[in-house]
């Protein structure tokens, strides 16, 4: 450094040198000037100064790190708040569909609609991303055709619970039953614009209503021949049989107690088929609680169209 500094100072101080002392003093001054002033504009000397300056610039390079913190805080907070609100509602329902890969399945089924409560049921199912089977009554579809179409459009199974649900008419004979089922099918075509879900049905009142356990066989056989599978249930709120049962309990508590009791009876049976009448307000109110309980127990929610045999009580 010194050696090159001399060269630098020589070129700057030669003009005024008269004595050694003066020269020495000037040299010191020139050295300083050479470093801070003359250097850059004067040949070899400048090379040195620039070199050392460059090194120190690299070492110091304080401007590079300055940029990093400037960018990081600016981008991070801007992106997070923008994206966060959108994905949040989606993950929760996705988990509900296949909560734990446990292989445990439950078949959620709704009877006697579409009713005034069915849109609320569909909203709940959408929130959890769950598909369900709706055993619908033709006469109710005629009253609520848009809801019937919504059931179909949202990917649920639109299944048959007869046209009239009138036990005196449908259980006269297997032919009478089939005739009523065919009327239901026409009603669905008119409401939905397609022939759907006709291959899955539930006997109004349950299969024992079709001539008792000994007499129902000819109904089941006739329906099987026509290509239909029938489903009773095991898990239940017992919401269609409230009469006289709730005198000691509020309705909600009675429904939940029924759910827990029937679950304890059938939890190890397959298929586990859950019947709910969405015509009862309290059943709809309890639906999210039941869904969350089943999710917590590790169940996946499936459609009865996955099953290949009748399930009768
Ligand atoms: Zn019914």
Query: From first to last of its 313 residues, what are the pLDDT tens digits of the chain?
Result: 333 333 333 333 333 334 445 444 444 444 444 443 333 333 333 333 333 333 333 333 333 333 333 333 333 333 333 333 433 333 344 444 444 567 899 999 999 999 999 999 999 999 999 999 999 999 999 999 999 999 999 999 999 999 999 999 999 999 999 999 999 999 999 999 988 766 999 999 999 999 888 899 999 999 999 999 999 999 999 988 776 676 778 899 999 999 999 999 999 988 999 999 999 999 999 999 999 999 999 999 999 999 999 999 8
Residue-level pLDDT at 9: 35
Residue-level pLDDT at 201: 97
- How far apart, in whole angstroms, are the C-alpha atoms of residue 187 and residue 128? 29
**Cβ neighbour number for residue 160 with a 10 Å cutoff:** 26
Residues 208 and 276 in one domain: yes
Tokens of 139: 């006469």
Interval between CA 293 and ligand 1 midpoint (Å): 25
Interval between CA 208 and ligand 1 midpoint (Å): 13
Interval between CA 179 and ligand 1 midpoint (Å): 17
Residues 49 and 113 in one domain: no
Burial class for 175, CB neighbours closer than 10 Å (0-12, 13-18, 19+):
exposed
Residues 52 and 119 in one domain: no
| Domain annotation covers residue 97 | no
Residue-level pLDDT at 4: 35
- Per the structure, the complete domain to which residue 16 belongs is given by 2-56
Residue-level pLDDT at 187: 97
Backbone torsions φ then ψ of 211, nearest 5 degrees: 80, 20
Contacts of 73 (CB under 8 A, 6+ apart): none
Question: 3-state DSSP: the chain helix, strand, coil percent, rounded to 5?
Answer: 60, 10, 30
Last residue of a domain, one of 56, 76, 95: 56
Q: What's the angle, vertex CA 19, arms to CA 18 and CA 21, rounded to 5? A: 135
Interval between CA 133 and ligand 1 midpoint (Å): 13
Interval between CA 148 and ligand 1 midpoint (Å): 16
Residues 30 and 153 in one domain: no
Interval between CA 205 and ligand 1 midpoint (Å): 6
Residues 37 and 124 in one domain: no
Interval between CA 214 and ligand 1 midpoint (Å): 21
| Domain annotation covers residue 146 | yes
| Domain annotation covers residue 289 | yes
| Domain annotation covers residue 236 | yes
Tokens of 171: 């259980």
| Domain annotation covers residue 83 | no
Interval between CA 25 and ligand 1 midpoint (Å): 113
Interval between CA 22 and ligand 1 midpoint (Å): 118
Contacts of 57 (CB under 8 A, 6+ apart): none
Residue-level pLDDT at 290: 98
- 245 neighbors 272 (Cβ within 8 angstroms): no
Interval between CA 131 and ligand 1 midpoint (Å): 20
Neighbours of ion ligand 1 (CB under 5 A): 111-112, 204
Residues 132 and 256 in one domain: yes
Interval between CA 232 and ligand 1 midpoint (Å): 11
Residue-level pLDDT at 246: 67
The CATH number of residue 236's host domain is 3.20.20.370
Residues 127 and 205 in one domain: yes
| Domain annotation covers residue 148 | yes
List the one residue out of 184, 193, 176, 173 whose CA is nearest residue 112: 184
| Domain annotation covers residue 201 | yes
Interval between CA 164 and ligand 1 midpoint (Å): 10
Interval between CA 112 and ligand 1 midpoint (Å): 5
Tokens of 231: 């489903």
Residues 253 and 174 in one domain: yes
CB hemisphere CA count around 129 (13 angstroms): 13
Residues 109 and 49 in one domain: no
Interval between CA 184 and ligand 1 midpoint (Å): 14
pTM, rounded to two decimals: 0.68
- How far apart, in whole angstroms, are the C-alpha atoms of residue 284 and residue 277? 8
Hey, is 163 helix, strand or coil?
coil
Residues 132 and 40 in one domain: no
Interval between CA 273 and ligand 1 midpoint (Å): 15
- Residues paired with 157 in a beta bridge: 133
| Domain annotation covers residue 265 | yes
Interval between CA 59 and ligand 1 midpoint (Å): 83
Residues 137 and 276 in one domain: yes
Backbone torsions φ then ψ of 298, nearest 5 degrees: 90, 20
- 147 neighbors 118 (Cβ within 8 angstroms): yes
Task: Name the strand (E) or helix (H) holding 262.
Answer: helix 251-266
- How far apart, in whole angstroms, are the C-alpha atoms of residue 125 and residue 287? 9
- Residues paired with 187 in a beta bridge: none
- Counting the structural domains of the chain, the total is 2
Residues 48 and 166 in one domain: no
Residue-level pLDDT at 269: 87
């Amino acid at each position: 450094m010194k050696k090159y500094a001399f060269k630098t100072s020589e070129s700057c101080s030669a003009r005024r040198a008269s004595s050694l002392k003066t020269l020495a003093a000037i040299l010191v001054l020139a050295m300083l000037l050479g470093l801070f002033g003359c250097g850059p504009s004067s040949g070899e000397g400048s090379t040195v100064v620039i070199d050392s300056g460059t090194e120190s610039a690299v070492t110091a390079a304080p401007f590079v790190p300055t940029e990093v913190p400037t960018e990081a805080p600016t981008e991070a907070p801007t992106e997070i708040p923008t994206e966060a609100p959108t994905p949040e509602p989606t993950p929760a329902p996705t988990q509900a569909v296949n909560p734990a890969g446990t292989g445990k399945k439950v078949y959620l089924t709704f009877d006697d609609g579409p009713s005034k409560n069915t849109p609320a049921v569909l909203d709940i199912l959408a929130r959890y991303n769950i598909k369900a089977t709706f055993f619908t009554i033709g006469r109710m579809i005629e009253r609520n055709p848009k809801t019937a179409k919504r059931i179909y459009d949202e990917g649920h199974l639109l299944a048959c619970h007869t046209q009239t649900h009138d036990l005196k008419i449908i259980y006269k004979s297997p032919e009478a039953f089939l005739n009523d089922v065919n009327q239901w099918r026409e009603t669905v075509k008119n409401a939905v614009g397609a022939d759907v879900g006709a291959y899955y049905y539930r006997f109004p009142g349950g299969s024992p209503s079709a001539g008792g356990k000994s007499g129902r066989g000819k109904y089941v056989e006739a329906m099987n021949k026509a290509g239909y599978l029938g489903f009773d249930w095991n898990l239940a709120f017992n919401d269609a049989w409230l009469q006289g049962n709730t005198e000691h309990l509020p309705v909600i508590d009675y429904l939940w107690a029924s759910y827990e009791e029937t679950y304890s009876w059938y939890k190890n049976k397959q298929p586990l088929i859950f019947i709910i009448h969405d015509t009862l307000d309290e059943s709809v109110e309890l639906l999210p609680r039941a869904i969350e309980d089943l999710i917590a127990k590790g169940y996946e929610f499936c459609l009865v169209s996955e099953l290949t045999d009748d399930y009768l009580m």
